Amino acid sequence: MAECPLPDDGADTVLLGHGSGGRMSARLIGEVFLPALGNPILDRLGDSAVFDAGGLRLAFTTDAFVVHPLRFPGGDLGSLAVHGTINDLAVAGARPLVLSAAFILEEGYPLAELRGLVASMRAAARDAEVHVVAADTKVVERGKGDGVYVTTSGIGIVPRGVELGPECIRPGDAVLVSGPLGDHGIAVLSAREGIAFDTDVVSDSAALHHLVGALLTSGAAVRCLRDPTRGGVATVANELARAAGVAMRLDETAVPVRPGVRAACEMLGLDPLYVACEGRLLAVVAGADAERALAALRAHPLGAGAARIGDVDAADDGPPVRLRTPFGSLRALDVLPGAQLPRIC
């Protein structure tokens, strides 16, 4: 197992595309990490690991945050690191319990800036009613980091009776999103490149555990939840369809996208279906319960823009995810090979 072939994208070094969340990321994980570290829990590649411990069902997740720039409209590294990890727990159906934070600081980074990021982290954690109970700080030389990187990990408890995962997805299910797509990615890009779009775009970064709680208690049969971060909804839909052994049909005209995000994407040649969100939920629910689930989402401030964007079909010989275009034709919606937007989270 120690020897396995190099990723067939031909790379023999790490490339930016390996961090994209797309096909190169999947190859790196599948060909370097899983052959060495794989086990039945890790192999599921869920947003959280879920396992039994002394009679509890625990969810456990970790994420490194390397967003650049550190501040962007609607958030910063601190709030993003809290929201991102809470959301990975939430989409596993878990009630977030505690967080940890490990900081890698670059020599020369202003302490006043650090103080601001930590204050933002505190505010996000306080609003989410979750404590950071463990932390670590390391310092690297100037030129070996980029101000600050932070890795947050989180533990949650999955209530009895909550069973979520791609294996629960069935033909006939409906695919929902909790609001407009792509706000986070475009907000970071605008801050990074100094682009002023016609309409100011603000990151959707938010903690989703209360929205998830509202959905799970709505009575709708919820099959699977994900937060479409790196790679966006298109990538998540592909992962779920492949893991579930089904086909998904998304309807482009039903996908909610803010005008400012749409304009920015058109200017930059991006497809909002691949742009990262940090406060949106993708939910697969039983088709018959779609309206009930949408009503539950829309009753929560973070789900006001919820929409049904597609349906689950039985797998066939075609691509696992297809998009119905505004012209009524169907086209394959594939995973991107490499980087669309690096360092977005």
- Only one of the segments 25-33, 199-207, 242-250, 291-299 lies at the binding site for a copy of itself (rule: CB under 8 A); that segment is 25-33
Restricted to residues 39-78, the positions that interact with a copy of itself (CB under 8 A) are 39, 41-42, 48-49, 51, 53-56, 58, 60-66
Q: Is residue 337 within the footprint of a copy of itself (CB under 8 A)?
A: no
Q: Which stretch binds a copy of itself (CB under 8 A): 7-15, 180-188, 206-214, 283-291?
A: 7-15
Q: Which of 91, 121, 237, 273 binds a copy of itself (CB under 8 A)?
A: 121
Give residues 183-222 in contact with a copy of itself (rule: CB under 8 A).
none
What distance in Å separates the CA atoms of residue 94 and residue 98, rounded to the nearest whole number?
12
Contact by Cβ (8 Å): 84, 95: no
The beta strands (E) that lie in 271-326 are given as: 282-285, 307-314, 321-324
What is the dihedral angle through the alpha carbons of 268, 273, 276, 282, rounded to the nearest 10 degrees?
160
For a copy of itself, the closer CB: 34 or 221? 34
CA atoms within a 13 Å half-sphere pointing along the CA-CB vector of 105? 16
Question: In this complex, which beta carbon is closest to a copy of itself, that of residue 110 or of residue 269?
Answer: 110
User: With contact defined as beta carbons under 8 Å apart, do 73 and 190 qualify?
Assistant: yes
19 binds a copy of itself (CB under 8 A): yes
Shortest Å distance, C-beta 127 to a copy of itself: 14
Binding mask 81-120 for a copy of itself (x = CB under 8 A): ----------------xx-xxxxxxxxxxxxx-xx--xx-
Q: How many Cα atoms occupy the beta-carbon half-sphere of 17 within 13 Å?
A: 15
Per-residue buried b or exposed e for 201-219, using 16+ beta carbons within 10 Å of the residue's own CB: bbbbbbbbbbbbbbbbebe
Contact residues for 72 (Cβ-Cβ < 8 A; gap 6+): 187, 188, 190, 191, 192, 203
Binding track over 138-177 against a copy of itself, x by CB under 8 A: xxxx-xxxx--x-x-x-x-x--------------------
Residue 243 interacts with a copy of itself (CB under 8 A): yes or no:
no
Residue 119: CB minimum distance to a copy of itself, A: 5
- At 72, which amino acid appears? F
